[in-house]
Structure 1
């Protein structure tokens, strides 16, 4: 969670306390969607980095080893 997410959640909490439930729900929902999107993006990047060899790994596989 970054600062923007924290600010949105704080704003949603303030709106709820002011009994502005519609706007509060909207802010909470947008915050949750943002967090889910970020987690999905990170998970995809982690999966990609684990399954895709780096350039050095690819070159090492092609180069014969020296004895």
Structure 2
């Protein structure tokens, strides 16, 4: 992504990192802003709930 800063959410520490400094096994991202990275777990949870609902609707057809 060129010279743009990228932000990563570290699931082990709960901290946002600028640039990928930790092991990829503990990182979510990249995100374009610090705020997006801070909301990583909430965003993932929301997407999972939506996908689960879609799956349930598909199965009931």
**TM-score normalized with structure 2 length:** 0.41
Bigger radius of gyration: 1
Higher relative contact order (CA 8 A, sep 6+): 2
Higher helix share: 1
Higher strand share: 2
